[in-house]
Structure 1
Amino acid sequence: MRDSKFLFLESGNLSLEEQPYRGAERKYGFYAFKGYRQLIVENYIIIYEVLENKKVVAVVTVKYGKSEF
């Protein structure tokens, strides 16, 4: 059986198929201002880029980023 957090990540990731620009442009860190976007799903940050010419959303990395807010 898959971990429920993994399934939640999958559902957040799959929504990019219909709305690839829903994530904010990355403005800090290594991927800042290079065309990458980020989507926060629960305690995870999905960093990805939209490849328009190939009609693809390429996930670059998924980072754990729990916040204390």
Structure 2
Amino acid sequence: MEHHIIAEMTEPGGSTLKEWHMVRGEQPESMCGRELDLSAQKLSSDAWGTDQARPFCHTCGALFLREVP
């Protein structure tokens, strides 16, 4: 399954990052269950665990670790 990282902003359409979340495919819901704006900034799943994808949702990170080899 394809994963990618998407930004959650502090307010809709805002410019301040709250945290990054992992998403399966093109679902509008993150792995932790948050509804996200699909037009928000995205990163490749390869950015997981790097400084580029911090702060990262703890729940999404834990679930992602259990899904990828």
- Report the TM-score range of the alignment, normalised by the length of the smaller protein: under 0.3
Structure with larger RCO (C-alpha < 8 A, sep 6+): 2
- TM-score, normalisation: structure 2: 0.24
Larger radius of gyration: 1
Q: Relative to total residues, which structure has the larger strand share, 1 or 2? A: 1
